[in-house]
Amino acid sequence: MKVRILVSYKKSILDPQGQTVKNALLTMGYNFIQDVRQGKVFELELEGISQEEARKVIPEISDKALANPIIEKFSWEIIE
């Protein structure tokens, strides 16, 4: 089974990387860009675990090891 976990800053948190990318794209002439937010993506290959178990353990892993719950949020999905 393969799961994809997206980790990004909460809305209230400034995102200087995203801001820098936005400014670069505007400088390049892409003036339809309103906002850019940058985050991380993790793709985990799992074996020997049911979808039901994954639904319990993936949020736990995300919270403990992949995201900082004070400033980041995560979402995830099974992709394979």
Contact footprint for a copy of itself (CB under 8 A): 6, 8, 18, 21, 24-25, 28, 30, 32-49, 57, 61, 64-66
CB nearer to a copy of itself: give 31 or 70.
31
* CB 70 to a copy of itself: min, Å: 19
Where does residue 58 rank: exposed (0-12), middle (13-18), buried (19+ CB within 10 A)? buried
Least Å from the CB of residue 37 to a copy of itself: 5
Q: Which residues are within 8 A (CB) of 70 and not within 5 positions of it... i.e. 6 or more apart?
A: none
